[in-house]
Structure 1
Amino acid sequence: MEFSLLGPICVATGSGELALGPAKRRSVLALLLLQPNTTVPLEQLIDSLWEDEPPEHARTVVQGHVSRLRATLAEGGADAYGIELTTHGSAYLLRLPEELIDAHRFGELVALARPEAAPADAVPLLREALGLWRGPALTGTVTSPPFAAAAHALEERRLTAVEALARAHGALGEHEQAAAILYSAAVGHPLREGLIAALMRALFRTGRQSDALEWFHRTRRLLNEELGVDPGERLSGAYEEILRAEAADGRRTAAGSGARGQGRDGADPRAAAGRVPEQGGAGPAGTHDAQAATSAGGTRQTSGRAVAAPRLLPRPPARFLGRDDQLGSLTDALTDRTTSESPLAVVAGPAGVGKTACAVQWAHLHAADFPDGQLFADLRGFGEGDEAPPAEILRDFLLALGTPPERVPGSAQAASALFRSLVADRRLLVVLDNARSSAQVRPLLPGGPHCATVVTSRSRLDGLVATDCARPVGLQALGHEEGAALLGAMLGQERVAEDPAAARELVALCDGLPLALRAAAAQLTARPRWRLARLAAALRDERRRLALLSAEDSGIAAALRMSVARLSADDARLLSALATSADGHLNASVAAALAGYDPERTQDGLDRLAEMHLVDEEATDVYTISTLTQLFARDESGEGEPGSDTGGSG
C-alpha cells in the first residue's frame, strides 16, 4: 500500500487504487499524511476544509469522512501494513510506516544526495526522487489557504531538488543536461531568481552566452512588471559574472592566447568566473541527517528503526591452513589508509585454488574492524546459469542495510548510488565472490573511505586494477608441505605420517589444488582402511583421476567445466590443442603449431587463457598447463563427470 501526495491524492494497492471519494475526504487524508503518526485536532481539520465560515454540522461531516476513510483503508488491507486510523478524543491519528508516503521517500532520497561531494551518485538519487512526482502536489484537495501553503512548501522542495540535480550535472561537466533540467523548471517559475541565475550559468558554460543574457533581461522585465522590483543579488551577480567572463575572454582572444576554444567543457577560466559557492540548504529535506550513527550495540537508526549491522559472511572455512603471505597481503591492501579511497583487493587464481576460503578467512579474522557490518554475495561469474546481475545483489545489500523493500530503486544505477550513499560514512566490509568481470563488480563497490572490498575471481580483473586501483593478491597451488598439512588436517596427522611419500605423491597428482586435495581426503575418509598409497595408485590412472577427485556436488572437473564454459570457441579449441602437449610446457610457436593458428591469433588466445588462469605464463613466452587441466581438456566426455556448480569453492 502506497500513499501519494506528490500529484493527485491517491492510495495504491496491489490490486489498484482505492476509491477515496470527494475532495473533502481526500483532503482529510492528505492532512493526516502531511502529519503522519501525529495527532491532528479536529478543529485543524475543520479550519483546513472550509475556507469561509464552516457550517454548523462541520464536526459531523469530518467525522463521517474519517469513518469512511477508516473503512476504505481496512478494505484495502491496511492492517497487513501496520496502518491504523484511530480517534484520540477530539483528534485523529494516522499510524503508518512513513516510507509508504511518497513525500517521505522523496525527502530521504534528496537528503542522501550530495551534489558537490558525490555528483555521480547524486544524479540517479535525485532522478529517482523527482520521478516520484506525478503532477502538482496535493491535486484533488480543497483550495483553502492551508492546503495551498502545504502544496507550495512541497513544490519548493521539488525545485530545490531540481537545482541540486543541475548542480550535480554541472559538477560532472554535463552542462547541457543541467541547462535542460533548469530550463523546464524556469519556464514554470519565471520569477524564481535563484533558478534563473543557475540556468544562466549553465547556458553560459555551454557557450550559449546570448541565451543566458536574454534570460536575465526577460526576468528583469517580469520582476518590474509583476512585482515592481529590480533583480536581486543572485540574479544580478550571475549577470555580472557572465559579463566579466566575456570581457576577460575577449581580452585573451585579442592577445592571441587561443584559450577560448577550451570553454565548452567547464574547465576554462570563463566557467570558473561564473562559479560561485552554491546556496546551502534544501528546505526540510535538505536538513535531514541521512547518515545515522552506529550505536555501541552494532545497530543503526534508519527512519526511526534500529537496524542491526548485517553479518552476511559464510561460516569460516573448515580446516583452513597456511596462506599466511596472502592473508598478510590482504591486510596490507585493505587497511591502507594513506589515501582517502576505499581499499579494494582482488584475490585471483585458478579454479579450485581456494580463493573464496582465503577471502572469507580474512574477513572473519578482521570482522571486528568493520563494526557496521560485513556483506557477502556470490556473483555466480563461474557457475551454471547466468551470472548475478548487479541489481539483484544491490537489492539484497540494501535490504540487509535496513532499506524497506518498497524503497529499493528499480534501476541498477539508482540502487548503486543509494548503496554508496548509505555506506559512505560506515565501516563496512564487502566480499564479492566469484566475479566474472570488472563491469559486474563496479556497481557493487561501496566507495566510502572507511569501507573495504574483497573480490575473488578466476580472472585477474585487470580492469579493476586499472580504473579502481585494486590491489591484486594472487593465489597459487599449494606446495608439497602445505598440501600434506592440509591432508593431515582432514585425515589426521597419524594417517599421513604412515606414508609421507604417498602424501607427497597425492599432492602432486592433485596439482596442489585445495579443492582436489579435499576431494581426495573425502575419498580416504569414506574408506578408512585404505592407505594413502592405494588412492595414489588409483589416481595414476589418468582416465579415472578427474572422477576420483570429485565429492558429490564439488570437484575439480565441475570447477574446470565452469571456466571453460566462459571461453570463446576459438580459445576453447586452443586450450584443447595445448592439452596435447607432452609435458605441459610450451611457447607461443609450439602453441600455434598445435592449434593451427597464426602467431598473432595464438598470442592473443594465450593471453586470455593466462588471464583466466587456465595456463600460467612462468616467464616471457614460457607457458605451462596443469595436468588436471590437460586431462579435462582432453576428455570429450567430461560433461558426464560428477559435480556441478562449485559456488564458493574458488
Structure 2
Amino acid sequence: MTEVRLLGDTALLVAGRRVDLGPARQRCVWAALAVDVNRVVPVERLVERVWGVDAPARARATLSTYLSRLRQALAGADGVELVRRPGGYLLAADEAAVDLCRFRALVERARDADDGDAVRSLTEALELWRGEPLSGLAGEWARAERDRLAQERLTAQHELVDARLRVGQGVELLVELSARAAEHPLDERVAGQYVLALHRAGRSADALEHYQRVRARLVEELGVDPGPALRELHRRILAADPGLTAAAGGEVARPVVVPRQLPAPPPHFTGRAAELDALTEALDDAGRAGAVVVSAVAGAGGIGKTWLVLHWAHQQVDRFPDGQLFVDLRGFSPDGDPMDPAVAVRGFLDALGVDPARLPTDPHAQAALFRSLVCDRRMLVVADNAADTGQVVPLLPGGRSCTVVVTSRTRLSGLITTHGAGHLALDVLSAAESRALLTARLGEARVAAEEPAVTDLIALCGGFPLALAVVAARAAAEPRLPLADTVAELRGFGLHALEDDDPPASLPTVLSWSLRRLTDGQRTAFALLGVAPGPDIDLPAAAGLTGLAEREVRAVLRALADASLLDHRAGGRHAMHDLVRAYATTLAHDLPEPVRRSALERVVDCYLHTAYHADRLLAAHRQPIRLDPPAAGARAVPLSGTSEALSWLDAHHHHLLAAQQTAAAHHRHRVVWQLAWALYTFHQRRGHHHDALAVWQAAAEAADHLPDPAMRGLAYRRLGYAHAELGRHGQAIEHLHHALALAEHHGDRTQQALARHTLARAWERLGGERQALEHARHALDLFRAVGQPVGEADALNAVGWLAARLADYDTARDHCRAALTLHRRHGNPHGEAHTLNSLGYIDHHTGRHEQAVRHYRQALALYETQGDTTETATTLDHLGHPHAALGDHAEARAAWRQALELYLEQGRDTDAERVRGHLADLDHAAGPHDGG
C-alpha cells in the first residue's frame, strides 16, 4: 500500500517503507504537488513555491531535474504518478492514500452527519495528524501552507468540541478547553465552549467568572463587548436554564413572516460548478466562524451573474429557513438612475411584515430597524445589479446569521476591503459548459445532427452566456433553420448579429450600459484597447496606446477592470473577452481617424524599440540597425541583462507579431522590416521557426517597397533560412540565392559573406554537407577580406563543424579551436557556445569522450545563461552519447530525459522520437539491475 503523508513530516511510504524524496528543495517540489493532488500545478507556481518570488535564473531547469528524479523515486509506488500536463504538472494519486485528503473528507462528512457520527468522524480526522504539517521544509510557501493547515486543524478541533457539547459532554472537555482558552484568550467561540463545559461540570461560578475575564479583556484590548452568542450563553447560565445541562433539544421559533422573494431559477442553467462551490464554501466557512458572509459576484454585462446567484440560491434555499430577500438595484439600467438604497430598505421592511404605522420616517432609522429585525435570523439577502458599495451598505444585516450575495459589473472594492466581502469574478463558460447550454436549449438530437455548426457557434460565442442564450433562443424559435446559417450570420456580421429589439437580450446594448458610468477619457481608452495589437496589453504599452502617463493610464485600466470591461491578469496584463473587444472595436471606428492612427503608431513604436533593445542585449555582436525616434508619447521599456530581455520577449511575442501586422496594414514598411530584424535572435533561441517564416515573409514584401538593397538582401536571406529550418528545400535555396545575387550585384561583400554563411547552414539542414562546406569556405574568405572577426569566427566554426560531419576531424578541430579563440577574444558567448558544441562532437567521434563531456557542459552553461532553450535541448541530446560511451548510464539517461522534455515543449517531435530511441537502447543495454 502507498501512503502520501503531509500532516507531519512530508513523506511517501510504500508498503510501510519510506521512499527517499531527495534533498530539501526536491522534497519541497513533492509537497508543492502533493497538497494539490490530482490538480495541475502550473510550472510558474511550482517555481514560486519552491524558490519564492525571487527565483534564480536557472530555477526552471533545476525544477526539471527535480521532477525527473521524483519520477524515478516514484517508480515503485503503486497508484502514485507524476504526470506532465500543458502548462504544468500534477501528482496523480488515490485521495484515500493522502492523509490531508482523508482529513478533509472526514471533516466534510462530519458536517452532514448527526452529532454522534460527527464526533467519530472528527476524532478520526484529527488522529491523522502526527505533528507540524510539512515539517522540515523551509521557505515562504511552506511556512504559509503550514499556517493554513494549522488553521484547518484548529477549526476541526473547534467543531469536535461543539459536537461533543451537543451530545451532552462537559467535564470530559475541561482539561482540553482550559489549555485552548489560555492559548486563544480572545476567541469567543473557545470561551463559550469552556464556559458551557464548566457549567455542565457543576462549576457555574467558575463559568461566570471566566465570562467576566473574557469580557474585560475584549473591552480592554479590542474595545468591544462579547458577541450575541456569548452574551446569550451568559444570560442563560444566570437564569439557570435547564436546557444547558444536556444536549439542545428544541428549535427556536421562526418569525411569523417568512419572505420568499427569490425570482424563479433560470431555465437551462448549466456549468459554473467551481463558482457554485465557491459560494457554498464561503457559506460553510462563515457558518463555522459564526460570521455574516458577504459575497460580491462581479463580471461583465451578459456574463450570467444573476443566473448564477439565483441558481445557487434555489439550491441552498433550505439553509435559509427564515426567508430570502431579493432586490434589483438597477445599477446599470438603461432607463433610469440606480435605485436609492433607502427604497430597497423600505421594500425589505415591507417584505418582513413591518406595520407601516410603526415605520420610522428617517432613512437611517429604517436601516437600523431592518438590521434589528434580521439580526438573529438565518436569511439570504440578494442585492442584484449594484452600482457601487454605497448602494449596498445599508442593506447589510447587523448580526452574524445572515448571508448576503451581491452582483455588480464593478468590483465593489469598498465592500471587499471594509466589509470583508469575498470577491468572485465571473468569467466565460468553458467549451463543455457552452455545449451543455446549447444541448439543454435545443435538445441532444439537434446538437448531435449539426455537430460541426455547434462547434463553430461555441467558438464564435467564446463562452459568453448571453451570446449563447441569444443564439439558442433564435435557433429554438426557428427549428427548421440550419445552425450553419446562424454561423454564417455571426461570421458575416460579428457582434451586430447578436443585436435584438429587446434590450436585455441584445449583447451590444447590454455592453453599452456598462459605459454609462465611465468618463469620456475612459470610453476613448476602452475603444482604443479594442484595436491594440496582441491578445492583451500591459501598462507601458497601454500608456503608449493612449498617450497618457503611466500613473494616469493605471487609473483608467483600473476603472475599466472595475466595470468588468477588462480582466486584470497575472504579470500586470489586461485583456478583454473577444466579444467585448469586438464591441470596443466598433467604438474605435467611431473615433477620428488621426486619433486611432496616432494611437497605433505609438503602441507599435513601444513594441519595436523595446524589442530592438532586447535584441541588442541578447546579441551585442550583431551589426546594429538605425531606428527612427519613436512617436511622441511612445516609450520603450527599460531592460537590463539577457534574462530580463528574454522574459520580456517571451511575454510579448504575440504582441510583436501583431504589431508587425498592424504596421503592415498601415504601410509602415520600414517598421515591418525592423520588427522582423528585432525578433531574429529570439526566434532562433526559442525555436519559433513558423513565426520566423511569417515575419520574414512580411519583411521581404515590405523590403520590396524600400530603397535600401541591403535591407532587401537581408530579408530574403532570413526568409530563405526560415524555409530551410522547416525543411522546405526549394524555397530556401531560391530565396538565399536571390539574396546572394542582390549582394553581388551591389558589390556588398559583407552581405555576400552573410548570404554564403546562411547558404551553408541551409544546405546542412537539408543534408548537403559538401555543398554547405563549399559555401562556408567562401563565407570565411569574405569575412576575412572585410575584416569582421566575429563573422570570421562563425565561419571558422561552420567549416569545422561541417568538416566533422564529413569525418575530417583534424581539419574540424583546427578550425573550431581557431573559432573559439576569436569568440573569446571578442567576448561573444553565444558563438563560443556553438564552437564548444562542435568541439564536443569532434571529441566524441574521435574517442575522447571525457573531453567531449567537458566541452558539452561548458556549452550548456553558456546556452542556459543566454536563455537559448533550443540549443540547450540539442546539446543535452549530444551530451548523452559520450556519457553512454563511458558507461555513465545514469548521466546519459538524465541528459536525454531533459532533452526529451525540452524537445516536447518545443514541438520538435522528430528529435523527441530519436531521443526516446536512445533511452530505450540504453535501458535495453543496461538491463534490470542498472541503478539509473
Q: TM-score, normalised by structure 2?
A: 0.35
Closer, same or farther: CA 551–361 of 1 in aligned 2, 3 Å: farther
Closer, same or farther: CA 328–349 of 1 in aligned 2, 3 Å: same
SS of the equivalent of 1:335 reads helix
Per-residue deviation, 1:296: 9.1
Structure 2 residue 262 is matched with structure 1 residue 313: yes
Per-residue deviation, 1:555: 1.9
Cα pair 2:530 2:588 within 8 Å, conserved: no
The counterpart of 1:570, out of the listed 521, 532, 544, is 521
Structure 2 letter corresponding to 1:395: R
Structure 1 letter corresponding to 2:566: V
Per-residue deviation, 1:590: 2.4
Per-residue deviation, 1:267: 8.1
> Match of 2:538?
587
SS of the equivalent of 1:363 reads helix
Structure 2 residue 353 is matched with structure 1 residue 402: yes
> Match of 2:321?
371
> Match of 1:340?
290
SS of the equivalent of 1:338 reads helix
> Match of 1:137?
none
Structure 2 residue 423 is matched with structure 1 residue 466: no
Per-residue deviation, 1:475: 1.4
Closer, same or farther: CA 551–314 of 1 in aligned 2, 3 Å: farther
Per-residue deviation, 1:371: 1.2
> Match of 2:843?
none
Per-residue deviation, 1:564: 1.0
Give CA deviations for 1:393-434 in whole Å, capped at 9, x if unaligned: 000000110112232233321111100001111111101101
Cα pair 1:578 1:584 within 8 Å, conserved: no
Please give the alpha-carbon distance, in whole angstroms, between the structure 1 residues aligned to 2:221 and 2:534: 62
> Match of 2:484?
533
Please give the alpha-carbon distance, in whole angstroms, between the structure 1 residues aligned to 2:459 and 2:313: 30
Structure 1 letter corresponding to 2:288: T
Structure 2 residue 550 is matched with structure 1 residue 550: no
Please give the alpha-carbon distance, in whole angstroms, between the structure 2 residues aligned to 1:394 and 1:619: 39
Cα pair 1:433 1:456 within 8 Å, conserved: yes
Higher RCO by CA contacts (8 Å cutoff, separation 6 or greater): 1
Per-residue deviation, 1:595: 1.9
Gap runs ≥5 in structure 1: 1-265, 273-294, 301-306, 640-650
Please give the alpha-carbon distance, in whole angstroms, between the structure 2 residues aligned to 1:362 and 1:626: 25
Please give the alpha-carbon distance, in whole angstroms, between the structure 2 residues aligned to 1:424 and 1:469: 18
Percent identity between the aligned chains? Answer: 41
Structure 1 letter corresponding to 2:324: Q
Please give the alpha-carbon distance, in whole angstroms, between the structure 2 residues aligned to 1:339 and 1:389: 32
Q: TM-score, normalised by structure 1?
A: 0.50
Per-residue deviation, 1:437: 1.0
1:390-539 equivalences under 5 Å are 390-539=341-490
Structure 2 letter corresponding to 1:320: F
Cα pair 1:353 1:513 within 8 Å, conserved: yes
1:2-21 equivalences under 5 Å are none
Give CA deviations for 1:475-534 in whole Å, capped at 9, x if unaligned: 110111111110111111111112333223212222211111000111212221222222
1:188-267 equivalences under 5 Å are none
Structure 2 letter corresponding to 1:318: P
Give CA deviations for 1:31-50 in whole Å, capped at 9, x if unaligned: xxxxxxxxxxxxxxxxxxxx
SS of the equivalent of 1:635 reads helix
Cα pair 1:390 1:412 within 8 Å, conserved: no
Structure 2 letter corresponding to 1:370: F
Structure 1 letter corresponding to 2:278: S
The counterpart of 1:619, out of the listed 570, 576, 599, is 570
Closer, same or farther: CA 580–425 of 1 in aligned 2, 3 Å: same
> Match of 1:71?
none
Give CA deviations for 1:217-269 in whole Å, capped at 9, x if unaligned: xxxxxxxxxxxxxxxxxxxxxxxxxxxxxxxxxxxxxxxxxxxxxxxxx9899
Please give the alpha-carbon distance, in whole angstroms, between the structure 1 residues aligned to 2:480 and 2:406: 41
Paired residues, number = 345
Please give the alpha-carbon distance, in whole angstroms, between the structure 2 residues aligned to 1:365 and 1:587: 40
The two structures, once aligned, show a CA RMSD in angstroms of 2.9
> Match of 1:324?
273
Cα pair 1:615 1:623 within 8 Å, conserved: yes
Give CA deviations for 1:460-481 in whole Å, capped at 9, x if unaligned: 2121111111111221101111
Structure 2 residue 357 is matched with structure 1 residue 382: no
Closer, same or farther: CA 298–538 of 1 in aligned 2, 3 Å: farther
Give CA deviations for 1:72-104 in whole Å, capped at 9, x if unaligned: xxxxxxxxxxxxxxxxxxxxxxxxxxxxxxxxx
Please give the alpha-carbon distance, in whole angstroms, between the structure 2 residues aligned to 1:297 and 1:312: 23
1:128-147 equivalences under 5 Å are none
Which portions of structure 1, spanning 4 or more consecutive aligned residues, are displaced by more than 4 angstroms? 266-269, 295-299, 636-639
SS of the equivalent of 2:416 reads helix
> Match of 1:38?
none
> Match of 2:30?
none
Give CA deviations for 1:180-226 in whole Å, capped at 9, x if unaligned: xxxxxxxxxxxxxxxxxxxxxxxxxxxxxxxxxxxxxxxxxxxxxxx
SS of the equivalent of 1:453 reads strand
Structure 2 letter corresponding to 1:375: L
SS of the equivalent of 1:507 reads helix
SS of the equivalent of 2:401 reads coil
Please give the alpha-carbon distance, in whole angstroms, between the structure 2 residues aligned to 1:525 and 1:582: 37
Cα pair 1:436 1:458 within 8 Å, conserved: yes
Please give the alpha-carbon distance, in whole angstroms, between the structure 2 residues aligned to 1:476 and 1:610: 13
Please give the alpha-carbon distance, in whole angstroms, between the structure 2 residues aligned to 1:377 and 1:499: 41
Cα pair 2:499 2:509 within 8 Å, conserved: no
Give CA deviations for 1:127-175 in whole Å, capped at 9, x if unaligned: xxxxxxxxxxxxxxxxxxxxxxxxxxxxxxxxxxxxxxxxxxxxxxxxx
Structure 2 letter corresponding to 1:571: Q
Closer, same or farther: CA 349–636 of 1 in aligned 2, 3 Å: closer
Closer, same or farther: CA 414–459 of 1 in aligned 2, 3 Å: same
Cα pair 1:394 1:416 within 8 Å, conserved: yes
Cα pair 1:341 1:447 within 8 Å, conserved: no
Give CA deviations for 1:313-339 in whole Å, capped at 9, x if unaligned: 000111111111111111111232233
Structure 1 letter corresponding to 2:586: D
Please give the alpha-carbon distance, in whole angstroms, between the structure 1 residues aligned to 2:587 and 2:305: 28
Please give the alpha-carbon distance, in whole angstroms, between the structure 2 residues aligned to 1:353 and 1:532: 23
1:159-170 equivalences under 5 Å are none
Please give the alpha-carbon distance, in whole angstroms, between the structure 2 residues aligned to 1:622 and 1:507: 26
Per-residue deviation, 1:584: 4.2
SS of the equivalent of 1:454 reads strand
Per-residue deviation, 1:637: 11
Please give the alpha-carbon distance, in whole angstroms, between the structure 2 residues aligned to 1:378 and 1:436: 11
Closer, same or farther: CA 268–465 of 1 in aligned 2, 3 Å: closer
Structure 2 letter corresponding to 1:311: R
Closer, same or farther: CA 534–381 of 1 in aligned 2, 3 Å: same
Please give the alpha-carbon distance, in whole angstroms, between the structure 2 residues aligned to 1:512 and 1:298: 46
Cα pair 1:344 1:470 within 8 Å, conserved: yes
Give CA deviations for 1:557-610 in whole Å, capped at 9, x if unaligned: 121111111112211111011112244422222222222222221121112211
SS of the equivalent of 1:565 reads coil
**Larger strand fraction of residues:** 1
Gap runs ≥5 in structure 2: 1-218, 226-249, 591-932
Give CA deviations for 1:44-68 in whole Å, capped at 9, x if unaligned: xxxxxxxxxxxxxxxxxxxxxxxxx
